[in-house]
A and B are shown apart, each in its own frame.
Chain A
Amino acid sequence: MIKAILIFNNHGKPRMSKFYEHYTEDTEQQIIRETFHLVSKRDENVCNFLEGGLLIGGSENKLIYRHYATLYFVFCVDSSESELGILDLIQVFVETLDKCFENVCELDLIFHLDKVHNILAEMVMGGMVLETNMSEIITQVEAQGKMEKSETLTLLFICQSMRQSQASRFSSKIS
């Protein structure tokens, strides 16, 4: 099971955090800090797995991470997950983000925190891997995106009709 998914930048600023187990607010922050501390001091040419860390590490859990430009993607998993499998899942996640945002960068994650969460929700549900197929994830996310657009369209429609009535109201007020 996946215990937590963390994204933070090279300076340790959290960009997204999702915990699948309950920790208190303070512990969550401590975990982010500790994880950053552990991960950031590792060289580029070492392996992507990390045991240790008292809070989330424990003897059962391990951290699996990838570093992309300015961002660290860290998955904390227990022993029931395959290390390399998760490593590729991170790759899928990032590629999906890239597709959805068209050349994803750190700022996209900041400004569209909710969208990132929605994409993640299509991949991982309650700590279990739900979908690993990128096109399927995108389809699901887009289905919601379409809904967003269609809502905007109806709004546009309402808006136009409102504008007329508003205009008429304004005119009546003026008169």
Chain B
Amino acid sequence: MSDVVEKTLTALPGLFESQTGAAKITNRLRQLIKSITELTSKHEEENLIKRELSAIKEQVSSPNTTMKQMREIMVRAMYCEMLGYDASFTYIHAIKLAQQGGVLEKRVGYLAVSLFLNEGHELLLLLVNTVLKDLQSTNLIEVCMALTVVAQVFPKDMIPAVLPLVEDKLSHPKEIIRRKAVLALYKFYLIAPNQVQHIHAKFCKALSDKDPGVMASSLHIYLQLIRESPDSYKDLTGSFVTILKQVLGGKLPVDFNYHSVPAPWLQIQLLRILSLLGKEDQSTSELMYEVLDESLRRAEMNHNITYAILYECVKAVYTIHPKAELLEKAARCIGNFVLSPKINLKYLGLKALTYVVQHDAKLALQHQMTIIECLDHSDFTIKRETLELLFRITNAQNVTVIVEKMLDFLRSCNDEHTIIHLIGKVAELAEKFAPDNSWFIQTMNDVFSIGGDLLQQDVPNNFLRLLAEGSESKEEDDQLRLYAVESYLTVLKGHTSHLPQCFLQVMSWVLGEYAHLQESVDRREVIRLLTQLLDQRSVSSETRVWILSALTKIPEGQTDLILDLAESLSSSQDTVLRQQAQELRHLSQDSQLREWVLPRGAPWDGIEVDSSLSFLDGFVSEALAAGAAPYKPPHQRQEELCEDRALNLEPYSFSLPVSLSSCSITDRQSPTLLSVSSGLSGNSAELSQKAGSSTLILEGVKRVWGKDGYLPQKEATAPPVDEPSAAVQPASQQEAAERIEPRPEPSTQNQDKQQLASSLFVGLGVGSSVSLLGKSEAPPPRFRKKPRPHESSSSSGTSKRSSDSSSHSSRNTTDSFLYGSFPEEEPATSISTFDHTPKSTTANGLSQNKDTKEDRHANTSQILGGDMVIVRPSTIQDKHPPSVSSDLTALLPADLKDLPHSDVISLTSDPSLSLSSCRLFRDEALLLVIFISNCTETVIKDVAVQLTCEELKTASLRGNVMDCLEARSTSVCHYALLMDDPHTNVSLTGTVSYQTQPGHTNTLPFSGTLSTADFIRPLVVTTEEYGKLWLSLSHDVKQNLKLLTDAGDPLRTTLNALKDALQLHVVDIIGSEGIVACRLLSGAPCLLHCRVNGAALAMWLRSPHPALPDFILYHCQRALAHH
């Protein structure tokens, strides 16, 4: 009874004259806030809150505290938490309040729970029963509260408990409940899509709900579903169009109007859904032209929200299948946006332009003056957006001006996020469009010094690869390197203490590799400059390692300096440095040894690396027998080395506490890398690579750099401006730059802008088509990469390519093995390429095979049987147009009918026989089915098929010999093909012999090509298994691939495209990373780790098979290029 009294008292403090304890508490919040606002220092606030929290602690644990007081206390605790103080002791009381209180207390309790607890909090379990009870309550408000808290904090594993009740609420008579239930289910879908799969039909009901509010909230779900798989919801297009029409027509209650615009947010949602549905789909797009047109027309009122609708509309028009009339209107809208004096609209206009400029370059041209103005705008956001736009329209002609603008902006910018984002783009542009060496080096210097250690690791890596790998002409390469050396020497002579570590590393590597090119500079000077760096305190120990490696490489003659240095370092605390100093000492004393270990100017291509280190096998087994620790694969070591500077790119590894010194210990453990003395007995190239590997993350020979994918590899029409003056002084370069850059003169400011405009928008002229945008053909890109046939899919003539590759016939075998040039249209040449294919790159093949077998054993159970889709790898090359009707597949034996298969294509024919084939994809083999049709009216006798293929194991299963083939009938024979070692394409040849008349044998040859893609099967593993497998695999390849950015989620789209093309299994997608697994038939697995890296997809492949990743990469590239 006294409890009730107490409650009453607190509720109505005014009723009583006397100040009860409860009334005092009511004022506590007021006091708390008052005293906080009076405070001046952070320290005082801390003390105050601490006092407050201890008071709260006392009150909550006191048995006399009533529910009403508790409510008050909760609000105070919420306030403290908001200020960032820990009030975790109140959490349990918040739950209690939600459990036991009346409606008002419940509300505060639930509110506190949703503010305090996150999805992973263990106390949430205590809430389940309360939520269940409230979901079944007759009180609407309680149900609403329960639904809200469910949508806010419930984790995956607690969903099944409440799911049936929430589902029931979809048919609740009250619309607010239905609406909240829909959103709660949407949230469930986001965190656990599998659990709500069965209620998709109910979503459909919600979409057709009579209450527009419920319908509107169901659009959230549909937007998400359609984003994930637009194809499954095409049939709903009509409904969405109708809804939008009704909304536009004002059919909704007036309540839904906002500033007399009917349901604007609903319109925005619908427009987004439509653009997803209409993307790359003409027939669906046609359904929506009318309503989009109407939308554009209606949204003419001058209010903020109508512009929001217009913007979505414009985006939709440019996303769906184009229609000229609409595009024109949309372009006009964009014009209005860009020209608007309202800054928000200008921003959206720029965004729209950035989006649209890929489709229509001329639009940017129309607004060039506005864009120039935006470039000087005082608003940071606008400037940034403008640069983004400029980035999209960069070509070889305007690159210097645009990069200059970007660098100017970056120099004045201090937002880390923006710097990281933009500096990568500058590097990309510089690499792609650099007009000459000096500009390129200067720009990269700026990139390194501005971006500093914020840079993504691939920027310096790509740069060094570019220098190291070079282009086609050695002279040009040397000029570039020479220029780099000179420029770095100049930089090092100045103040070096402020330079970022990453820049120092790049400089020391380049000086180490290429200082010898510059004959006029004294070696001692170079050594002195580098040694100077070692003395600086600001230089990190990792950079020191880079510098020391550089010093090791700088050639002979300066023994005294080097010995001094080695001496001084040999007492260093850092074991890695000490080891390096030892190496340095040894090498400098023995010039012969050095010559052997570090051959100067050795062409990168010439380095042959026995990546299996087979020559050390004996040593290894001896060491193992003697109890040495087993070998650690190189990636693990590299990881440990770069751990403290780079982002950890590998989400699956165990996080080891790693530092440089610990790495040196692991090095010791690995018998293959026992430092110079032991390694010297081996392959010199291997050692020189090792010297690099402690510093560089360039992996030997397989360097495929660049974010290209769409740089056309053209034969140089005119070699880029070739200055013999590559050794120009930087000053003259600046002059050159200044010539391009208009000088600001206040009197002729406008003229200036005109000039700037002409330099910015050069190359975007009228009549210039899309191809001019960054894909310019006019002057060839400066830094053309070595021809890589696998890039050939991008474009360009085959004939040119083959001449290219023949001129490079000296390329090492590994390379041609990996990327052997396969002119697309000529299967004949592909055969010849295989002639010099090494049979196996592994010398320790035994252990390899064992691995594979184990893997096979471990994974067979996980192979998914029947869910393979029909894929049609486009690689069967066919000299005869496919004229065979596909009903031949009906002839397939019953046991094979269910297998996924390719189209039937014609192989060959003559007047009496015609042969066609079809590939069937079985888990453990590729079945090749050959249909032999008798085209004559007579019986053909003694038909025998013979199939040969060097690269594959073939086994005839049945039907390759027939006594007779009836007139007008078709017989089937099949072969099982097994691929043990991957090959890019393999050619099949075969003959059919037959007798039309007794004793008269005819033969009919046929041939065809198969691609590795035919032999790839999905590997179904869980994320955990993937993680384990990942660590156990040794051969890895990294490469940046093109990202398909045309859809909502580029990663998902790209992975789906790959999955469709190659039968990969997408294991998981987490944020911007995705993991994918596949295997070669039922043999070697290959794991792919993909990460979105700017506009590219950084792919990292691993497999026990040394060559498999390269082939899969090759096919991925092709699949994306064809997409």
- In the complex, the chain A residue whose C-beta lies closest to that of B413 is A52
CB neighbours (8 Å) of A136 from chain B are 213, 255
CB neighbours (8 Å) of A126 from chain B are 148, 151-152, 183-184, 187
B382 contact from A47, A133, A140, Cβ within 8 A: A47
Per the bound structure, the CA–CA distance linking A57 and B115 in Å amounts to 22
Give the contact stretch, choosing among B241-249, B340-348, B486-494, B677-685. Answer: B340-348
A162–B4 CB distance below 8 A: yes
B11 contact from A51, A92, A152, Cβ within 8 A: A152
CB neighbours (8 Å) of B179 from chain A are 130-131
Per the bound structure, the CA–CA distance linking A17 and B179 in Å amounts to 25
A47–B118 CB distance below 8 A: no
Q: A59 at interface (Cβ–Cβ under 8 A)? A: yes
Q: B12 at interface (Cβ–Cβ under 8 A)? A: yes
B415–A52 CB distance below 8 A: yes
B103 → chain A closest CB, angstroms: 6
B1080 → chain A closest CB, angstroms: 36
* Contact A58:B417 (CB < 8 A) given known A125-B148, A133-B256: yes
A47–B29 CB distance below 8 A: no
Q: A104 at interface (Cβ–Cβ under 8 A)? A: no
Number of interface residues of B (CB under 8 A): 74
Per the bound structure, the CA–CA distance linking A152 and B183 in Å amounts to 32
- In the complex, the chain B residue whose C-beta lies closest to that of A136 is B255
Q: A113 at interface (Cβ–Cβ under 8 A)? A: yes
B304–A133 CB distance below 8 A: no
B344–A25 CB distance below 8 A: no
CB neighbours (8 Å) of B312 from chain A are 82
Per the bound structure, the CA–CA distance linking A22 and B191 in Å amounts to 13
Per the bound structure, the CA–CA distance linking A52 and B410 in Å amounts to 13
CB neighbours (8 Å) of A20 from chain B are 152
Q: A102 at interface (Cβ–Cβ under 8 A)? A: no
A82–B304 CB distance below 8 A: no
* Contact A125:B82 (CB < 8 A) given known A50-B381, A155-B8: no
CB neighbours (8 Å) of A135 from chain B are 255
Q: B416 at interface (Cβ–Cβ under 8 A)? A: yes
Q: B635 at interface (Cβ–Cβ under 8 A)? A: no
B418–A84 CB distance below 8 A: no
Q: B268 at interface (Cβ–Cβ under 8 A)? A: yes
* Contact A144:B381 (CB < 8 A) given known A16-B82, A126-B152: no
CB neighbours (8 Å) of B119 from chain A are 22
User: Which residues of chain B in 157-193 are interfacial with respect to chain A, using CB atoms and an 8 Å cutoff?
Assistant: 176, 179-180, 183-184, 186-187
* Contact A49:B384 (CB < 8 A) given known A43-B378, A155-B11: no
Q: A166 at interface (Cβ–Cβ under 8 A)? A: yes
CB neighbours (8 Å) of A127 from chain B are 187
Interface residues on A, range: 35 or more
Q: A105 at interface (Cβ–Cβ under 8 A)? A: no
User: Which residues of chain A in 9-27 are interfacial with respect to chain B, using CB atoms and an 8 Å cutoff?
Assistant: 14, 16-18, 20, 22, 25-26
B946 → chain A closest CB, angstroms: 58
B15 contact from A47, A84, A159, Cβ within 8 A: A159
Q: B75 at interface (Cβ–Cβ under 8 A)? A: yes
- In the complex, the chain A residue whose C-beta lies closest to that of B217 is A130
CB neighbours (8 Å) of B29 from chain A are 111
B84 contact from A25, A83, A129, Cβ within 8 A: A25
Per the bound structure, the CA–CA distance linking A88 and B311 in Å amounts to 14
B417–A57 CB distance below 8 A: yes
B415 contact from A28, A49, A53, A121, Cβ within 8 A: A53
A114–B264 CB distance below 8 A: no
Per the bound structure, the CA–CA distance linking A101 and B943 in Å amounts to 94
Type the 1/0 row for A136-162, where 1 means its CB is closer than 8 Å to any CB of B: 100010011001100110011011001
- In the complex, the chain B residue whose C-beta lies closest to that of A28 is B84
CB neighbours (8 Å) of A168 from chain B are none
Type the 1/0 row for B13-38, where 1 means its CB is closer than 8 Å to any CB of A: 00100000000000001100100000
B111–A117 CB distance below 8 A: yes
Type the 1/0 row for B143-163, where 1 means its CB is closer than 8 Å to any CB of A: 010001001100000000000
Type the 1/0 row for A26-57, where 1 means its CB is closer than 8 Å to any CB of B: 10110010000010001101111111111001
B428 → chain A closest CB, angstroms: 15
CB neighbours (8 Å) of A49 from chain B are 344, 347, 381
- In the complex, the chain B residue whose C-beta lies closest to that of A152 is B11
B630 → chain A closest CB, angstroms: 39
CB neighbours (8 Å) of A110 from chain B are 33
B82–A113 CB distance below 8 A: yes
Per the bound structure, the CA–CA distance linking A49 and B380 in Å amounts to 10
Per the bound structure, the CA–CA distance linking A64 and B230 in Å amounts to 29
Type the 1/0 row for B960-1002, where 1 means its CB is closer than 8 Å to any CB of A: 0000000000000000000000000000000000000000000
B84–A159 CB distance below 8 A: no
CB neighbours (8 Å) of B268 from chain A are 82, 85
- In the complex, the chain A residue whose C-beta lies closest to that of B81 is A25
CB neighbours (8 Å) of B83 from chain A are 14
Can you sample 20 A-B contacts with CB below 8 Å?
A: A17-B82, A22-B118, A47-B344, A53-B415, A59-B421, A80-B223, A83-B344, A83-B347, A84-B304, A85-B305, A88-B264, A88-B308, A118-B107, A132-B258, A133-B255, A136-B255, A144-B107, A147-B141, A159-B11, A159-B12
Beyond A47-B382, A156-B12, list 20 extra A-B contacts (CB 8 Å): A16-B82, A18-B115, A25-B86, A38-B415, A42-B379, A50-B381, A51-B381, A53-B417, A85-B265, A85-B305, A111-B33, A113-B79, A114-B111, A121-B148, A125-B180, A130-B179, A136-B213, A147-B141, A159-B12, A159-B15
